[in-house]
Amino acid sequence: MRCRQFLTGLSRRTMLQNSACGFGQLALAGLAADSSGVFAGSAPSDLPSYGASGQTASVPLPHFAARAKRVLFLFMWGGPSHVDLFDYKPRLNEFAGREVTPEAFGGKQAPGGKILGSPFQFRQHGEGGVWISELFPELSRHADRMCVVRSLHTDGSAHGEALLNLHTGKASLVRPSVGAWISYGLGNENDNLPAFITISPPRGHGGVQNYGNAFLPARHQATAIGSAEIPVSKAGVTNIVNPKLDRATQQKQLQLIQHLNREHLQQSQSDQGIEGLIAGYELAFRMQSAVPQIMSLNDETQSTLDLYGIGQDRTDNFGRQCLLARRFAEKGVRYLQVSTDYTWDHHTKNNDGLRKECSQVDRPIAGLLTDLAQRGLLDDTLVIWGAEFGRTPTAENNDGRNHHPQAFTMWMAGGGVKGGYTYGSTDDFGFFPSENPVHMHDLHATLLHALGLDHLRLTYRHAGR
């Protein structure tokens, strides 16, 4: 950390009490101390344990009765084509190759170019008759668990802007991510784990801001496990262990941190920055034993591994991500995100790309839904599948599809969702919503409502506002 000013006239004690750099160095060195005799498996007894909203409670109450306890978001980075997967448009093939004119859509500015047909067969599945492409044979068996929203629309046609809108609701200003708001509003069910975990998150297109806390206290930012560019089997949570010091030295340093923190809080009454740092270090200490146990899949049966496609080249990585998400979910994590690599951006070879990507996620997602249901977790877990936008019904580079924020599809399952149901619709080609349009902000409000949170009452005072 680079300090931009030199402090003069400070005693050694005052310097330590007021220096975030000093606390960080000392606390990071103390993270590897054994819990026996220090924390006893929880927060230090002589330090306050801070939950959501700065309260001294781990689980604040929601605004009203919730339908779900947690959210599990399956993020398909790049933007899959809605008209090839969930929004059946037979007229695409009928009008394939014809030029699009604005007059055909009541003067709306539809993307130019020629209509690109879809080679994929659609069928209605389940008692609700949900249309699903042949590219999802395993997922289609869960049609009666799914609510397919076909009338999403968002702001911004570039990936970076659209990702920030998806994750934070705003691209032009730095805002907390949805997961951070949920952590702030509800806290966590497990004091040994973060409330918000993102598995294999994107590094680009907004990066950390997509799972950041912005002006909320730092403890509400997500804990990242790896990144989208590396296999999750090689990933972990960084900087929670310091192997360079022996246990006795680490315990002494941690005790010093406790003492300094207590004195600082007594003098200043409140210092959110220091409180956030110390709460984070305490959590990191407790995570040392909890996270490796969850990350290890050695206690899973072979049938469970097979259910997720683990051990098969095509499905192994995403299968591991989904299984890790289930393991964290059953341990009480409030908000989980699982991300694919940046592979759904099919400006060329859309059909080949979709065949490849869908074959990598179909079985793991179906396995996740099955596993959650069998363990009794699906009823109170809201599973969401989607991306930053959809793809154009017109062709790009002959066989690709361009970005399309004007209309796209997401689906939800579990957590009080009405299964076997399709909400909203688009025009005959999938250009624009034609019934029950759902803006990204509406989706965020719906998500919060499922958790018992009123988005109009979930507020945080910042910078005098």
For the chain, residues with pLDDT lower than 50 are 1-58
Question: In sequence order, what DSSP letters do the residues of 23-54 get, joined into one string?
Answer: HHHHHHHTTT--STTTTTTSS-TTS----GGG
Number of H helices, E strands in the chain: 12, 15
pLDDT computed for residue 244 by the predictor: 78
372: Cβ contacts below 8 Å, ≥ 6 apart:
326, 329, 378, 381, 383, 414
What pLDDT shows up at residue 12?
A: 44
Phi-psi region at 58: left, alpha or beta (left = phi > 0; alpha = psi -120 to 50):
alpha
Residue owning tokens 């289930």:
326
Classify strands 70-75 and 335-339 as parallel, antiparallel or unpaired.
parallel
Per-residue model confidence (pLDDT) at position 60: 58
Measure the CA–CA gap between 363 and 361, rounded to whole angstroms: 6
Tell me, what's the pLDDT at 50? 34
25 torsion bin: left (phi>0), alpha (psi -120 to 50), beta (else) = alpha
Concatenating the DSSP letter of every residue in 100-121 gives P-GGGGTT-----SBB------
Task: Report pLDDT for 140.
Answer: 99
At 418-450, the pLDDT tens digits run 999 999 999 999 999 999 999 999 999 999 999
The pLDDT, as a whole number, for residue 62 is 86
d(C-alpha 191, C-alpha 323), whole Å: 21
What does the pLDDT read at residue 271?
A: 63
pTM (2 d.p.): 0.85
Give the domains, in start order, of the chain with CATH numbers.
16-57+241-281 (no CATH), 70-238+298-450 (3.40.720)
The reported pLDDT for the residue numbered 457 is 87
Instruction: State CA 220 to chain mean position distance.
Output: 13
User: Between β-strands 438-439 and 146-153, what pairing exists: parallel, antiparallel or unpaired?
Assistant: parallel
DSSP code, position 458: -
Q: What is the pLDDT of residue 102?
A: 61
Query: What is the reported pLDDT for 46?
Result: 32
